[in-house]
Chains A and B, each alone.
Chain A
Amino acid sequence: GAVVSQHPSRVICKSGTSVKIECRSLDFQATTMFWYRQFPKKSLMLMATSNEGSKATYEQGVEKDKFLINHASLTLSTLTVTSAHPEDSSFYICSASPQRTSGRMETQYFGPGTRLLVL
Chain B
Amino acid sequence: KQEVTQIPAALSVPEGENLVLNCSFTDSAIYNLQWFRQDPGKGLTSLLLIQSSQREQTSGRLNASLDKSSGRSTLYIAASQPGDSATYLCAVPPNTGNQFYFGTGTSLTVIP
| Chains A and B are bound partners | no
Residues of B within 8 A of A (CB): none
Residues of A within 8 A of B (CB): none
